[in-house]
Structure 1
Amino acid sequence: MRSFYWLAGRSIFGEADLRIAGWRMQAENLNTLDAIRDLTPDAPILVDHETVDAAVWRWLNGVRAARLRRWALVVGIGDGHERARLLRRGFGDIGDLAMTLPELHARALRITQQAEALVRWRQHGPLRLDLIERDAFVGDKAVGLHPREFAVLWRLMESPGETVGKRELLRDVWNLSFVPETNSVAVHTSRLRSKLAMAGLPGWIQTASGGGYQLIERADMDASVLNNIHIGISLT
């Protein structure tokens, strides 16, 4: 049975209630920062834009919620420009005020399918990651990454321009729920930086002022690099 979460300041209502379409609601009381921060999503999160807590909504739009936004289906956005902005921000889908239950069902199913699908490539300017090859490529030239270096870069490329903290990297790459007495993250990130620099992409991984790392945004890419490197594959 498909399941979903309900994130709102009120009980679920008619056209938003996927239970009518055979889904199971996992949790209803997520409308607090503590609850949403601790959530590891495995199902669509229906967000009632009208009643969601303001602090929760700000957090959802922030740098630490990039992974969670992929699962979020925001209900009740009437303005097309705002829907477009939220989609660019990385939300899974956005529905307007007139969305019916069959449409909501289809959109929630689509979010689930997209989140569960295995993505082979990630592309960021001239830099391409290949999950099957477990390596990065600049044009047709392999960078030659160690598996952990590849995993760090894959995680950073998930949300370019957003800071990924050491704790998040330890959780997502090393599968650790605590911060050990080790500088492994710094060592692997340093090696990754060096290899990207040798491939013609110096400075593409930045250290954030409060700790953590981020992949530069597209607007910050060196124009000369983009003009001089042949991109061997074009992804849409």
Structure 2
Amino acid sequence: MNEEPQLQQDDDNSESTFPNDSENPGNPPEDHVADEPVVDPQADDTAGLRGPSASQVRRLDTRLRRLTRAYLNQTNRLESYLQIVTACQKQTAEFANHVIERHALHPAVEAVDLLTGLIGQLNDQANDLLDAAAHCPMFDPLFGSIAEATRMAHAKCEHLDMRSICPAPLDELDIDKHEIRQAVCTDDPDKHRRVERTLISGLIYRGAVLRRAKVSVYRHIPQEPQNRKENP
């Protein structure tokens, strides 16, 4: 008799201890599964295949064009520098060969110039005797040989690019080609530092002066007036 009321009381306590789910709607039951977003793997693959946007492509294209222009400009500058360096090397080699050859051939060139000058003098003397020996045919071969030797000597000098430096009187003094050896006084100011005469001719070989001509020049010395007024 006493056990039944006790069981009924326990049932009431159990119901109060475990409340109904409907009374607390904020707490989901343990066996409830929350709604999650559905992931479509095919959609993700499609997004990956879609690639960069149009603005990104334009930016990349602009940057690529700038890099291309910079590369071409740099390449053109390098080619210009290489051309300049090559031209300088060529000119340096030509100048070095020219200088070495000129110095190596200096004695031979001077000898050729000296012989040419002697042959020219001999030809001038032969021309002076030509009229006197016109009645002597035996001298004709000699004069012909001298004239032919003179022609050959001048042709060889022209072929070797050899030129004599022999300024005429009253020519302007060229310090690069003329060397002053003496001076002649003059009262004419227009003759000052002009060539009076050539003492020894100079020599130019392939555009370079091997030997300057030794010359005499005028030197102007102003003269004081003879009738000077004396101060009272």
TM bucket (normalised to shorter chain) is under 0.3
Q: Structure 2 length normalisation: TM-score?
A: 0.20
Q: Structure 1 length normalisation: TM-score?
A: 0.20
Q: Whose radius of gyration is greater, 1 or 2?
A: 2
